[in-house]
């Protein structure tokens, strides 16, 4: 009997989606990644629309993963460790609401785990400033233009600045 893969979806915004995607893309248990936009008001936004900071969308990475190989908790740890969750609407030199720190949860369990991980990080004392990461229900995901998909890999670059 062939066992079917179990796949779940995680959606994170942590600044420029190129670097966020690269952080998760080769992780064991991640089946696929794609970059796009979520959390805004305009249907089918383009990169130009989102960069104009008028649509309310965040640049996000949508991660399809096998929870038997990588847990949502592990994905959350990588999310927290790879950006600054205390800067509202900014990561490094990138400024605008599209660069906000946000977790879009798909299930009540993801919501619980995200909120617990945020509280744990706040209590750890790692940051002197408050954590501003939004934890909100998943909204429609709009896939970014093809040239943004796996952008850093296509350019032969391993990481983005922050």
Give the active site residues.
Answer: 16
Contact 81, 41 (CB under 8 A): no
Report d(CA 104, CA 110) in Å as an integer: 9
Report d(CA 28, CA 68) in Å as an integer: 10
Report d(CA 83, CA 98) in Å as an integer: 14
Report d(CA 100, CA 106) in Å as an integer: 19
For 97, residues 6+ apart whose C-beta sits below 8 A from its C-beta are 53, 56, 58, 89
What token pair was written down for 145? 């233009």
């Amino acid at each position: 009997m062939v066992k079917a893969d179990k796949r779940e979806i995680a959606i994170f915004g942590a600044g420029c989606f190129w670097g966020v995607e690269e952080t998760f893309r080769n992780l064991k248990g991640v089946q696929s990644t794609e970059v796009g936009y979520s959390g805004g008001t305009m249907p089918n936004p383009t990169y130009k629309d989102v960069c104009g900071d008028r649509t309310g969308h965040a640049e996000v990475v949508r991660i399809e993963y096998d929870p038997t190989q990588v847990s949502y908790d592990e994905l959350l740890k990588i999310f927290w460790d790879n950006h600054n969750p205390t800067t509202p609407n900014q990561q490094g030199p990138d400024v605008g609401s599209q660069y906000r720190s946000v977790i879009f949860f798909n299930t009540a369990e993801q919501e619980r785990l995200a909120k617990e991980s945020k509280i744990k990080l706040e209590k750890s004392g790692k940051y002197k400033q408050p954590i501003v990461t939004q934890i909100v229900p998943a909204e429609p995901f709009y896939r970014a233009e093809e040239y943004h998909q796996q952008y850093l890999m296509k350019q032969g670059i391993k990481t983005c600045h922050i």
